[in-house]
Amino acid sequence: MDSSLPQTNNPRVVVIAVGSTRKPKLAAVREAADSLACLFGAGCAIEIVGVEVESGVNHTPLSREESMRGARLRADALIETAQREREPWNYFVGLEGGLDFTEENGERRIFLESWAYVSDGTRGHFGRSGAVELPETLAQEVFGQGIELGVAIDRFAGEAGIRDAQGAWGVLSANRITRQEAFRVALIAAFAPFYNEVVYRRSARRASSL
């Protein structure tokens, strides 16, 4: 942890700041954190703090690189806030959902992905969910016409407020994978270098010896 960041007064309380106040994102962080007792220690209380910050990218990122950048910038904004306001936050989480595309057999295919970036103020790591392919009509609205995914998916599904419920993930997977679940997977992956530090340190030592 960066020594310039304040420490929580209670060593048995771990505070995770999240760069959003969206319910699916906060619920995903809660679910992921509750499963990581090995990282936080037995008996630790985990507090989740949602703070609305700017991502610095398009409302719907249109590439993997842009989604990653948005997630990192959200976490960086939280670190700056903690330093400025002397907040005792231990981890800083940026979450970003966006699109990525590839050419396959001469055909463009566009996928929805969920990205997480987790920092302890000193080092940070990315994690990603799987990917689900967008129907061509939805892809054209978002990728071709620049319509925000949250707006387009409501119209596509004939519902309202999908972004704060099951998300586009839920619509496309018939609720077998929700937006919350996609972010949870991304978070578990992003936290891996923290809770599985022995493996990552071993990999770093091997790389430095080559």
Going residue by residue through the chain (210 aa), what tens digit of pLDDT does each one get?
444 444 444 558 999 999 999 999 999 999 999 999 878 877 789 999 999 999 999 899 999 999 999 999 999 999 999 999 999 999 999 999 999 999 999 998 999 999 999 999 999 999 999 999 999 999 999 988 999 999 999 999 999 999 999 999 999 999 999 999 999 999 999 999 999 988 988 765 665 655
Give the whole-angstrom CA distance, residue 161 versus residue 155. Answer: 10
d(CA 134, CA 147): 14
Fill in the DSSP letter of residue 175: T
Instruction: Supply the pTM of this predicted model.
Output: 0.89
Query: How many residues does this entry show for the chain?
Result: 210
3-class DSSP state of 117? strand
Q: What angle do CA 51, 61, 138 make, to 5 degrees?
A: 115
d(CA 83, CA 85): 6
Show me where the domains of the chain are located.
13-135+177-209
Q: Which residues pair with 99 in a beta bridge?
A: 112
Fold of 13-135+177-209: Maf protein (3.90.950)
Residues 6+ apart with CB under 8 A from 11: none
